[in-house]
Structure 1
Amino acid sequence: MQREFRILEVRRGSVLVQPLDAVKEECLRVARATTYIENEVIIAEPLSDRSGVSSQWEVIAARVDPSFIDGGAPKVVPCGNEEAGTECRFAEYVSSEEEEDFEDALEALRSGDHVTAARLLRAFIRRFPYHIDSYHHLGIIETDRGRRGRALKYFEMGYRIGLRSVSEGFSGTLPWIHLENRPFLRAAHGYGLALELQRRHLDAVDVYERILAWNPNDNQGVRYLLPSLYLQARAPQKARATLERHGADGMNLYTRCLLEIQDGRRREALRWLCRALSYNLYLPRMVLAGKKVSHHEATCTVVVGSEHEAGQYLRENGGWLRKPPRDFLQRLMAMKPFVRR
């Protein structure tokens, strides 16, 4: 018979769980136990051995759903002064004394001890299951370990806990300037980036658009990510609208140029290409050379205006490697006045 459980603790080869319809904790032996995370909800059924005794459980489905966590999510409250207007912030969930254990985990993470940091963070979550920043940092650790699927779950848990704190129909803002808002905004950003790695472009766009609504000053720079995501999702008009609304700069100058090429507006494309070249010279020669971008080039620290930056952009924007943009660049490179310029 299938049953639903909330995972309390992940162990090697098993998970400590609490049935959704009971209070008593149970330990279930499951395959690939370390792919699950704390407070994830699973549907499982027992597998019987030859003696008819259940020794292993099969997980039928799993979902990130914080609605079954005991207690209440952190509250979002108005900032409390007329100048703040619609500005809101997350109320304190953990006292400064209690958060010392969390700071110990961050210190371990800063020193490069991921094992200790993860152990301390998971213990902290057991005590404070709605602590958004713990999920966010566990997502970072799993990303560094190359466990993208598990990292996605941690970021999503932090994000969805924050959504539970924001009432339905919420029309206020959660500005970055208020330190209490940053864990949620960071978890949301991490979730969006993890969705991008899964090529769930429109889901990532939805998260980024929400971040912009909550924090219009965009201290995290998510507006720069939207145009390319819309292009990858085959929504060029939305990409154009985003560029016109937020402006085109950085590598998005090349995105605007690409849109003009796709629409057959060669003169406008040339104008945007000239502006893009003043920012980064490497992309056209990489496109014409058909240079492949390695995983290392795409994930290392990126220097503004560098070949690595152009390589990462190309990896995320394959539209430049199609025939029309390549033909456009080849014709321009064949023009001596343009090459001299």
Structure 2
Amino acid sequence: HSLTGLLTTLSNSLPSISKLYKQEVGILTTIELVAISAGNNNITAYRLNTLEKVVWKGNNYPALVVEGEIFEVEPEKEWTYKKTPFISGKIISQRIDIPALELVPLPVHCIDKRKQEFEMEQIIPGARPDEMDDPITDAVELKNRGCMDEAWELLNQVIKQDLRCIDAHVHMAHFKFGDGLSEYWVKQALKHYTVGAELGHFFLGYSFNGKLPWSAIDNRPYLRALHGQCLCYWALGDYEAAAEIARSLLKFNKSDNQGIRFILPEIEAGIPYRESNE
């Protein structure tokens, strides 16, 4: 009986001993996940290396993870319920790294070789070419009617089907940005805008030096993402980052349909976003 008890004790201790050993030698296993639907206490994701769907459950992460973001988990428990894999554990890092997702880049088309003007290609799962409305416009209409939960869920469904939909990320950011006066929500909006902008950088190529006219409507999601980033950095007091993005927008789209020329002098002068919008 004493031998059996000793073996049981050792068996129960092995996971803890193994973990302590791995911590000591610096080889503790972690898992990288990609968020496709982020909630307060659970995140639907897929494993970065295998694309296997998994749901993370917990509440111990430093900042809200957003859709399209990679987060690293130190796993404590893994289980399956109704054929869905679950994982719990501490989130130890987060990053936005679009190339690491190994997505197929959307094409970019030259529409005027002499002017070096290009149009990006947009993807909106659920959109029909024979209809004016699409899930993005439907989400905006729901939001305008005060149906925020339904609007958010519609955008989330688009992203679940295809992370490459820049406009869905941008409108999620719009919803969170609000009046731009809440630092917490502006920081969350910035992450969504950044996912959208980084997707655009990835599609265009990081050395892209052409023009992206607003009149080519499929350029608009990317231009909106950059505009949103600019406003967030301005609202957070990072005038240098805001000004840099504003100048890039004027370079991409000289017709300046977004009114960047009106806010850039204020950003360069260090006028706070709050004061400018009073």
Tell me the TM-score normalised to structure 1 length.
0.61
Kindly provide the amino acid, as one letter, of the partner of residue 40 in structure 1: E
Does residue 80 of structure 2 align to residue 19 of structure 1? no
Partners of 2:204 and 2:87 lie apart in 1 by: 42
1:186 is aligned to 2:216: no
Alignment of 1:143-182 (within 5 A): 143-144=177-178, 146=182, 147-182=185-220
Distance 1:230 1:15, change over 3 A: same
Does residue 45 (structure 1) correspond to residue 74 (structure 2)? The answer is yes
1:62 equivalent in alignment to 2:94: yes
Contact 1:44 1:60 in 2 (8 A): yes
Give the equivalent residue in structure 1 for 2:65.
36
Offset, 1:313: 3.3
Higher strand share: 2
Identity of aligned pairs, percent?
A: 22
- The reply on whether 1:90 has 2:128 as its aligned counterpart is no
Q: 5+ unaligned residues in a row in structure 2: which ranges?
A: 1-28, 78-85
Cα distance in 1, alignment partners of residues 105 and 235 from structure 2: 28
Normalising by structure 2, we get a TM-score of 0.74
For 1:230, the equivalent position in structure 2 comes to 268
What whole-Å deviation, never above 9, does each CA across 1:212-269 have from its counterpart, x for those lacking one? 111122221213323333333xxxxxxxxxxxxxxxxxxxxxx9xxxxxxxxxxxxxx
- Residue type of the alignment partner of 1:208: A
Show CA shifts across 1:125-178 (max 9, x none).
111211111111111111229522221111111111111111232221001111
Amino acid at match of 1:97: R
The ranges of structure 1 where at least 4 consecutive aligned residues each deviate by more than 4 angstroms after the TM superposition are none
Does the CA contact (< 8 Å) of 2:136 and 2:167 recur in 1? no
Aligned to 1:252: none
1:68 deviates by: 3.7
Task: Please give the residue correspondences for 1:1-341 in structure 2 after superposition, counting only pairs within 5 Å.
Answer: 1-31=29-59, 35-47=64-76, 56-69=88-101, 71-79=103-111, 81=112, 85-94=115-124, 96-97=127-128, 100-144=134-178, 146=182, 147-232=185-270, 298=274, 312-313=275-276
Tell me which residue corresponds to 1:290. none
Q: CA deviation at 1:47?
A: 4.4
Q: Which runs of 5+ in 1 are unaligned?
A: 49-53, 233-254, 256-292, 299-311, 316-341
RMSD (Å), alpha carbons: 2.8
Stretch moving more, 144-153 or 168-177 = 144-153
Deviation of 1:32 after TM superposition, in Å, equals 5.6
CA contact (8 A) 2:54 2:87 kept: no
1:204–1:120 Cα change, 3 Å: same
Query: Is the alpha carbon distance of 1:224 and 1:125 closer, same or farther for their aligned partners in structure 2, counting shifts above 3 Å?
Result: same
Distance in structure 1 (CA, Å) of the matches to 2:265 and 2:122: 36
Could you say which structure has the larger radius of gyration? 1
Q: Distance in 1 between matches of 2:256 and 2:46?
A: 40
SS in 1 for 2:207: coil
| Residues 1:13 and 1:133: Cα distance change in structure 2 (over 3 Å) | same
Question: How many residues in Structure 1 have an aligned counterpart in Structure 2?
Answer: 233
For 1:123 and 1:130, how far apart are their aligned partners in 2? 13
Shift of 1:71: 3.5
d(CA) in 1 for partners of 2:88 and 2:162?
30
Compare relative contact order (CA 8 Å, sep 6+) and give the higher one, 1 or 2: 2
Q: Is the CA contact 1:136–1:187 (under 8 Å) kept in the aligned structure 2?
A: yes
Report the Cα offset of residue 207 of structure 1.
1.2
SS at match of 1:35: coil
Separation in 2, partners of 1:181, 1:137: 15
SS in 2 for 1:191: helix
- Paired AA for residue 15 in structure 1: I
Structure with the bigger percentage of helix: 1
Distance, in Å, in 2 between the alignment partners of 1:112 and 1:128 is 26
Shift of 1:116: 0.9
CA distance 1:224–1:207, shift in 2 (3 Å):
same
* Secondary structure in 2 matching 1:42: strand
Instruction: Please give the alpha-carbon distance, in whole angstroms, between the structure 2 residues aligned to 1:75 and 1:3.
Output: 31
Check whether the contact 1:45–1:59 (CA below 8 A) recurs between aligned residues. Answer: yes
Deviation at 1:11, TM superposition (A): 3.1
Partner SS for 2:211: coil
